[in-house]
Structure formats: structure tokens, C-alpha cells
Chain A
Amino acid sequence: MRRREGGVIKLLFDIIGYYFIITGSILCLISALAMIRFPDFYTRLHASSKTLTGGTISILIGIMIFKWELFITLRLLLLIAFLIITNPVTAHAIAKVAYGIGVKPRNIVRDELSEKEER
């Protein structure tokens, strides 16, 4: 944290890093509020998938800018790539399994997936 000596550049990097970290923690709090406020399983899955992925990537980018060292940046890039790949995969798998077992969305107007399976 104290390895860079340049005054203005260090201050600028700190401000950008804190901006990303604060944005990410606010997105995490919004995701947690959405988990108790949303009425349905699929809307909760939506909040948990999108908002939490965005908050996680924002916090990791903030730490990457805050600590500007090579190996920490490489590890955090690996973590970001892994989260981008795996988080939509788990959301898709859980949504497909939940639809197959019979969890219906609330206030559904038209169920196009069941019409496609009947055909």
C-alpha cells in the first residue's frame, strides 16, 4: 500500500480504487436486499446472478487498481475470469432444474417452454 512514492499518481489510484470498491459493496448490499424483497424464485435468481457478479467484479477491479503489483493483478484477473465463466453456468443449471421439477413463476402470463415441449 505504501510502496509507490509518487504523490499525485498514488492519490489518483487510491481514489479510483476506493470508487470501485465502494460501488461493489453497495451492489452486494442491493443484492442482499433483493434476496429478501423479491417475490419469486426466478427474480431472486436474477438478482443473485447479475447484481452479485457485478459487485464482485467491481470489488476485484478496485483492489487490482488499489494494489498495483504484478502477481496480485494476475491472480485477481484469474479470479475475475473464473467468476465470469462459472456464475452464469450455475444460474442456468439451477433455473433449468427448478423449471423441470415444477417451480412456476408467479403471475405468469404465457408459458412458452411448456408449449414447446408439448409439440
Chain B
Amino acid sequence: MIESLIVVIVISILITAYRVVKGPTVFDRIVAADSIGIMFLLILVLLSLYYERYIFIDVALVFGVLLFIDVLVMAKYFGEKKGGGGH
């Protein structure tokens, strides 16, 4: 049962990776990569249930923190690139 749900989420990741490859703007790619990260976090939690090994939930917590910082830093960098507000 858990295996088939992991397969469903992997299919979701493969569908979302299409938007990462073929995004019109760079923000589409950032948002799609953020979605892939959250789905990967879900796969980690489901794998901890499948293998009965609960260190994966701690890995998922740290992964969530890194994902948050990652997206904020990318948004700040690509926002400053064209605006030229700060001299």
C-alpha cells in the first residue's frame, strides 16, 4: 500500500520536472523545483514508515529548513538582477 503511494508521488515528481525543464520564465522553474522538494520530503516521511526507521523524519525536517532558505535566496538574487535599485 505504502509502495503504491510512493509510486504516485514519484509520478507527480516526473510530471513536475517537465515544468522545470520547459519553463517560460525563471520563476516557473523556481516554483516547480520548490514543489519537487516538498514532494521529496513526503517521500522521505513515507520511506520512514516503510522501512520502520525514523531517522528519516529528522532528515525531512532539515530538508524543509534548507528548502525554505534556498527558495528565499533564489528569489532575492533573481529579483536584484534586473531592477538595479541598490547602487
The residues in A between 86 and 104 inclusive whose CB is less than 8 angstroms from any CB of B are 86-87, 89-90, 93-94, 97-98, 100-103
How many whole Å from B26's CB to the nearest CB in chain A?
9
**Shortest beta-carbon distance from A91 to chain B in Å:** 8
Contact A48/B32 with A35-B15, A63-B45 known, Cβ cut-off 8 Å: yes
Q: Which residues of B sit under 8 angstroms from A21, Cβ to Cβ?
A: 5, 46
Asked if A90 and B35 sit within 8 Å, CB to CB, the answer is no
| Contact residues in B for A102 (Cβ distance below 8 Å) | 82
Complex alpha-carbon distance, A76 and B12, angstroms: 22
Q: How far is the CB of A113 from chain B (nearest CB, A)?
A: 15
Shortest distance from the beta carbon of B84 to any chain A beta carbon, whole Å: 11
Interface residues on B, range: 35 or more
CB distance from B4 to the nearest CB of A (A): 9
Count of CB-CB pairs between chains A and B under 8 Å? 125
Docked complex Cα distance between A118 and B68 (Å): 33
Question: Beta-carbon contacts of A41-81 to B below 8 Å, as 1s and 0s?
Answer: 10011001000100110011001001100011001101100
Assess whether A11 is interfacial by the CB under 8 Å rule: no
A33 within 8 A of B: yes
- Write the nearest CB–CB distance from B36 to chain A, whole angstroms: 9
Residue pair B72, A63 in contact (C-beta under 8 Å): no
- Counting CB contacts under 8 A, is A12 at the interface? no
Closest Cβ–Cβ distance, residue B30 to chain A (whole Å): 6
Contact for B25 among A22, A31, A55, A98, CB less than 8 A: A98
| 0 or 1 for each of B32-53: is its CB under 8 Å from A? (1 = yes) | 1011001101100110010010
A-B contact pairs, 11 of them (CB 8 A): A29-B12, A48-B31, A56-B41, A56-B42, A63-B45, A63-B46, A66-B49, A89-B68, A94-B27, A98-B25, A101-B78
Task: List 14 additional A-B contacts (Cβ < 8 Å) besides A82-B61, A97-B27.
Answer: A25-B8, A25-B9, A31-B12, A32-B13, A32-B39, A36-B18, A44-B32, A48-B35, A55-B42, A63-B46, A79-B61, A94-B27, A98-B25, A101-B82
